[in-house]
Chain A
Amino acid sequence: MLKKRVAIQDFAAESRLFNRRAIVAMLIVVALFSLIIFNQYQLQVVKYQDYQTRSEGNRIKVVPMAPNRGLIYDRSGILLAENRPVFSLELVPEQVGDMDATLAALATLISLSPEQIDAFLKQVRAQRRFNSIALKEQLTDTEVAIIAANQHRFAGVTVEARLSRHYPFGDLFTHAIGYIGKINSRELQQLEEDGEAANYAASRDIGKIGLERFYQRQLHGTMGYQEVEVNNRGRLIRVLRSVPAVSGQNIHLGLDVGLQLTAQQVLKQQRGAIVAMDPRDGAVLAFYSNPSYDPNLFVHGISSTNYNALLNSRDRPLINRVTQGTYPPASTIKPHLALLGLETNTITPQTKIWDPGYFMLPNSDHRFRDHLRWGHGWVDVYTAMIKSCDTFFYEMGIKLGIDRISDYMSKMGFGEKTGIDILEESSGIMPSRGWKRARHNQPWYPGDTVPLSIGQSYWTTTPLQLVVATAVLLNQGQLPTPHLVTAFSSEQQQTPHAPALTPVIQVVNPDNWQVVMDTMHRTVKDIGGTAYKAFEGASYSAAGKTGTAQLAAIAQDGEYDADSIDERLRDNAMYIGYAPFDKPSIVIAVALENAGGGGSNAAPIARQMLDYYFTAGVNQNE
């Protein structure tokens, strides 16, 4: 009984004890729930902005989109550089089940080199598994068709199209337009320094030389981007916002496809350059350096075999002879020197000298020969130009002196870059006392001035400089800046591009312009003129000056090859000319390496160019 009573009493006490503990436990539960709520409040209310920002940062990625590169047109709107879709075979490793089996099966359909497979597998290891990786680029149409027909057999294998630069005229415009190629680390660094790198986030290519390089900024355009939502593995879920890329500007050239083709056809295998320009505004009409090469080779990365072939060719196709070929101008600069002679009253239109076939400096028995061994007899400035008498200019040059010659010719652009809109340009050499001191550490001798007076010795010019300097004569002292591009265009507007002329020469006697013009006109027009035969029967009135440069001072670093030493030492044929005589709309320079006499070799080529120019009506309706 007692025991039972105790048990009952215990039960009540135990119950009270338990209830107290239950209350304590519930208090702890509530306290800990309060802690959770407090913590939630901290996270969701107090630090909400912080976490909100981090959440957005997690999910939103910006995907850059490359702009389409601007196109390049010739003067009549013919496409010279375009963007073509090229097809590449791409695989997404994540979706490809058995990679080895897939590669083996693909290899039975299209040709895959071990190098391609190795390069591909390297990329597979380097990149994330859901990235699309190119196995083979530039698929042929046949390959695209084969893959398409067998697509169902392969998961994760796609043919991707992307735009790639293409130059439809191949080697015809290479030295002017240049080409693009993959951005290299040096260029990337440059872009970063210029603050341009962000705009190139999606771009693969950049202009390497020529206009493609010079106008890279205009041609490239502005990158667009998409704000996309991604998941934790970076896979795209959806596009939130899209800012389209702005295509690069199209550029329109003064070059004419017909003139270029003519230049290529008339030069054939002949090494040399032809450049033609509208003297009135400096728009370049023809720009051809022979031999040329196919710029399309470079767009997808040129093979080392092809590159070495170009690099080591004795004909040096990589040299841009129009702007980098530095040739002795020979007699083509006689009109410019004649102007200086007239302006300084060193000669007058009436001045006559006796040419015995050579010139000797006082107190010297060294004979500077005229190209005509028996001499021209009595010659004035007209005869000296028409017949290209050297002695007349030897004598005039000595009277002028190196300083005046050097100063005046420099004003006409010799020894300076013309500022044409490509970067591959040499300045040539307009020698002076200072130049010789600096270059050869020697004083200037009168014996240096004599050959200089007929465009020989140290004086070298590019064909483009000859054209520009001749335009200065035609423009009565106004120097044009040659430019290949004549306009930019976008979808909205067309902007003409015409750099202003620079006045460089003020004449004392304006009649002197006409004297010089007449001498050049008569060189072509008069029977016996050095360019008469070349232009006989032309439907237009041309003017010009021939030149034949002896290669004592060949511009190019002549590597002597015993087998061809004779051929490579032959004279360079030079010609400058313009037409129509009364109202010049084209000025042309022709430089032919080791071709022989200028009158018989260079002038006929200029004739063919001008014939095309006038018959095809290039530049006539402006």
Chain B
Amino acid sequence: MNEQFSGNARHSRLALFHIDGPLLLGLLALVGFGLFILYSASGQSVFMMKAQLVRLGVAFAVMIAVAQVKPQTLKRWSLPLFIAGLGLLVAVLLVGHVGKGAQRWLDLGFMKFQPSEVMKLAVPMAVAWFISSHSLPPRLGHLLLGFAMCAIPTLLIAKQPDLGTSILIATAGVFVLFMSGMSWRIIAFVGGAISAFLPILWLFLMRDYQRQRVLTFLNPESDPLGSGYHIIQSKIAIGSGGIEGKGYLQGTQSQLEFLPERHTDFIFSVISEELGLTGVLILLGLYLFIIGRCMLIASQAQDNYAKLVAASFTLTFFVYVFVNIGMVSGLLPVVGVPLPLVSYGGTSMVTLLAAFGVIMSVGTHKRMLAAP
């Protein structure tokens, strides 16, 4: 106890606002790096820079606001949030706005709102609430219920259809189960079940464009001007960057717009092209620092709910990073996941920083937890 007090003394002013210093530093460095490359990737658009800054400001404000909320409070709100989220998903399916061939948006009149974003937080929080209300490791029955809590929103989102997000949300929930100590035998069984499920997914659940993405992923050169075009151009951008890169603002693939979605999903390719392997290593270093710091916060939390939620958010954050980079560099199929805190974009950034707010709350409310 005392150790923790003294340990946090240096950050007393930050601690007063429930902000974790190292994590904030890591996030700011990452965001700074992101803005730096966004200026290039947006074609030096001052408008986009301003919009992104405003968004970041809002998102950081949300993060700090969330950090003020005690983990116990978050825990109490987990189930209601989850149920409300489910309701919104159903509403989207009924009256949602169709954009880019998928029904994801709920038009609230003054703004458009994507309920799946809420579920990115609500699903792991609710699963963690449920699992942590029993002793760990969870019993089989609890695990099954936990899986069910993941599956329902996943299927609703997959039906929009937004396969990428639905899988990520399922993953976030499953991470809670994994961190809660689900036995390796069950993990192996689930792994086997998912493998068995893949043909069903392919044959019955995936839409043509999704199948096409997978096929293109498996052999992008088969359709160089069609659906393989994006991934080929992206790999050319990455490969031609070399070790040192072509130089800031000098990326021909990105500046001449051979690279698709250069300021959103494919911004990693811009980094690779202009800053080379060097820039990539710096970026990965920042991500690894943030993930490591968050995992440390999770492991030091004294409440299972807090541990599980923090760890799940951390791993989900990692999955975003890995899926995005894997996607643009040809390791994974193209699934439309932005590079967290770097890509130009709105809702997902707020959600993401809200999650970091939760982690900060977990990291800075430990004293109170221990109090009787």
Contact in complex: A10, B331 (CB < 8 Å): no
Which B197-249 residues have a C-beta within 8 angstroms of A? 233, 235-243
Once A32-B322, A39-B329, A55-B237 are accepted as A-B contacts, the answer to whether A10 and B284 lie under 8 Å apart by CB is no
C-alpha spacing A206/B308, complex, angstroms:
79
Contact in complex: B256, A59 (CB < 8 Å): yes
Contacts of B107 in A (CB 8 A): none
Distance in angstroms from A236 CB to nearest chain B CB is 11
Contacts of B237 in A (CB 8 A): 55
Contact in complex: B295, A44 (CB < 8 Å): no
List the 9 shortest-distance A-B pairs measured between CB atoms, nearest first: A51-B239, A55-B240, A231-B256, A17-B181, A14-B136, A43-B239, A51-B240, A59-B252, A232-B257
Once A22-B298, A22-B299, A40-B329 are accepted as A-B contacts, the answer to whether A45 and B243 lie under 8 Å apart by CB is yes
Interface residues on A, range: 35 or more
User: Is A19 interfacial (CB 8 A cutoff)?
Assistant: yes
C-alpha spacing A37/B179, complex, angstroms:
26
Q: 17 new A-B pairs (CB below 8 Å) besides A44-B242, A229-B252?
A: A14-B135, A18-B180, A22-B179, A25-B175, A26-B292, A29-B315, A36-B326, A40-B238, A40-B280, A43-B235, A43-B239, A51-B236, A51-B239, A55-B252, A58-B236, A58-B256, A59-B253
| Cross-chain contact of A232 among B256, B284, B329 (Cβ < 8 A) | B256
Contacts of B280 in A (CB 8 A): 37, 40, 44
Contacts of A54 in B (CB 8 A): 236, 239-240
Distance in angstroms from B361 CB to nearest chain A CB is 18
Which A6-57 residues have a C-beta within 8 angstroms of B? 7, 10, 13-14, 17-19, 21-22, 25-26, 29-30, 32-33, 35-37, 39-41, 43-45, 47-48, 50-52, 54-56
Distance in angstroms from B266 CB to nearest chain A CB is 13
Contacts of A43 in B (CB 8 A): 235, 238-239, 272, 329-330
User: Is A353 interfacial (CB 8 A cutoff)?
Assistant: no
User: Is B304 interfacial (CB 8 A cutoff)?
Assistant: yes
Contacts of A21 in B (CB 8 A): 178-181, 311
C-alpha spacing A401/B207, complex, angstroms:
96
Contact in complex: A229, B236 (CB < 8 Å): no
C-alpha spacing A450/B322, complex, angstroms:
104
C-alpha spacing A15/B366, complex, angstroms:
15
Once A14-B135, A18-B179, A44-B277 are accepted as A-B contacts, the answer to whether A35 and B252 lie under 8 Å apart by CB is no
Q: Could you jot down 7 A-B contacts, CB within 8 Å?
A: A14-B135, A18-B179, A21-B181, A37-B280, A51-B240, A231-B258, A232-B257
Contact in complex: B318, A29 (CB < 8 Å): yes
Closest to A230 in B: B256
| Cross-chain contact of A25 among B179, B181, B243, B329 (Cβ < 8 A) | B179
Contacts of A44 in B (CB 8 A): 238-239, 241-243, 272, 276-277, 280
Contact in complex: B272, A37 (CB < 8 Å): no
User: Is B325 interfacial (CB 8 A cutoff)?
Assistant: yes
In the complex, number of A-B residue pairs with CB atoms less than 8 Å apart: 135
Contacts of B95 in A (CB 8 A): none
Secondary structure at the B interface, as helix, strand, loop or mixed, is helix
Contact in complex: B253, A55 (CB < 8 Å): yes
Contacts of B233 in A (CB 8 A): 58, 232
Chain A contact residues, CB within 8 Å of chain B: 7, 10, 13-14, 17-19, 21-22, 25-26, 29-30, 32-33, 35-37, 39-41, 43-45, 47-48, 50-52, 54-56, 58-59, 229-233, 237
Contact in complex: B135, A39 (CB < 8 Å): no
Contact in complex: B256, A18 (CB < 8 Å): no
User: Is B291 interfacial (CB 8 A cutoff)?
Assistant: yes
C-alpha spacing A55/B253, complex, angstroms:
7
Contacts of A229 in B (CB 8 A): 252, 256
Closest to A30 in B: B288
C-alpha spacing A44/B275, complex, angstroms:
11
Contacts of A32 in B (CB 8 A): 318, 322
Contact in complex: B181, A59 (CB < 8 Å): no
Contacts of B287 in A (CB 8 A): 33
Contact in complex: A35, B181 (CB < 8 Å): no
Contact in complex: B181, A14 (CB < 8 Å): yes
Q: Which of B239, B277, B318, B329 has the most CB of A within 10 A?
A: B239
Distance in angstroms from A73 CB to nearest chain B CB is 47
User: Is B281 interfacial (CB 8 A cutoff)?
Assistant: yes
Distance in angstroms from B25 CB to nearest chain A CB is 20
Contact in complex: A26, B238 (CB < 8 Å): no
C-alpha spacing A58/B236, complex, angstroms:
9
User: Is B307 interfacial (CB 8 A cutoff)?
Assistant: yes
Chain B contact residues, CB within 8 Å of chain A: 135-137, 175, 178-181, 233, 235-243, 252-253, 256-258, 272, 276-277, 280-281, 284, 287-288, 291-292, 295, 298-299, 304, 307-308, 311, 315, 318, 322, 325-326, 329-331
Contacts of A59 in B (CB 8 A): 252-253, 256, 258
Contact in complex: A22, B295 (CB < 8 Å): yes
Distance in angstroms from B46 CB to nearest chain A CB is 20
Distance in angstroms from A447 CB to nearest chain B CB is 78
C-alpha spacing A39/B311, complex, angstroms:
27
Contact in complex: A37, B281 (CB < 8 Å): yes
Contacts of A51 in B (CB 8 A): 235-236, 238-240
Secondary structure at the A interface, as helix, strand, loop or mixed, is helix
C-alpha spacing A29/B316, complex, angstroms:
11
Distance in angstroms from B130 CB to nearest chain A CB is 15
C-alpha spacing A397/B264, complex, angstroms:
98
Distance in angstroms from A290 CB to nearest chain B CB is 60
Distance in angstroms from B63 CB to nearest chain A CB is 22
Contact in complex: A18, B299 (CB < 8 Å): yes
C-alpha spacing A21/B175, complex, angstroms:
10
Contact in complex: A17, B240 (CB < 8 Å): no
Contact in complex: A36, B238 (CB < 8 Å): no
C-alpha spacing A48/B246, complex, angstroms:
12
C-alpha spacing A36/B284, complex, angstroms:
9
Contact in complex: A48, B242 (CB < 8 Å): yes
Contacts of A10 in B (CB 8 A): 135-136
C-alpha spacing A230/B255, complex, angstroms:
10
| Cross-chain contact of B295 among A13, A25, A230 (Cβ < 8 A) | A25
Q: Which of A21, A51, A54, A58 has the most CB of B within 10 A?
A: A21
Distance in angstroms from A42 CB to nearest chain B CB is 9
C-alpha spacing A35/B236, complex, angstroms:
19
Closest to A19 in B: B299
Closest to A59 in B: B252
Once A25-B315, A230-B256 are accepted as A-B contacts, the answer to whether A50 and B239 lie under 8 Å apart by CB is yes
| Cross-chain contact of B272 among A22, A40, A52, A58 (Cβ < 8 A) | A40
Closest to B245 in A: A44
Distance in angstroms from A229 CB to nearest chain B CB is 7
Contacts of B181 in A (CB 8 A): 14, 17-18, 21
Once A18-B307, A29-B288, A35-B331 are accepted as A-B contacts, the answer to whether A40 and B277 lie under 8 Å apart by CB is yes
Contacts of B326 in A (CB 8 A): 36
C-alpha spacing A47/B238, complex, angstroms:
10
Contacts of A26 in B (CB 8 A): 291-292, 295
Contact in complex: B295, A36 (CB < 8 Å): no
Closest to A46 in B: B239
Distance in angstroms from A548 CB to nearest chain B CB is 75
C-alpha spacing A200/B286, complex, angstroms:
56
Contacts of A230 in B (CB 8 A): 256
Distance in angstroms from A30 CB to nearest chain B CB is 7
Contacts of B135 in A (CB 8 A): 7, 10, 14
C-alpha spacing A237/B250, complex, angstroms:
13
C-alpha spacing A10/B138, complex, angstroms:
12
C-alpha spacing A40/B256, complex, angstroms:
22
Distance in angstroms from A239 CB to nearest chain B CB is 14
C-alpha spacing A18/B252, complex, angstroms:
47
C-alpha spacing A47/B318, complex, angstroms:
27
C-alpha spacing A54/B239, complex, angstroms:
9
Closest to A18 in B: B307
Contacts of A7 in B (CB 8 A): 135
Contact in complex: A39, B315 (CB < 8 Å): no
Distance in angstroms from A14 CB to nearest chain B CB is 4
Contacts of A233 in B (CB 8 A): 257
Contacts of A18 in B (CB 8 A): 136, 179-181, 298-299, 304, 307-308, 311
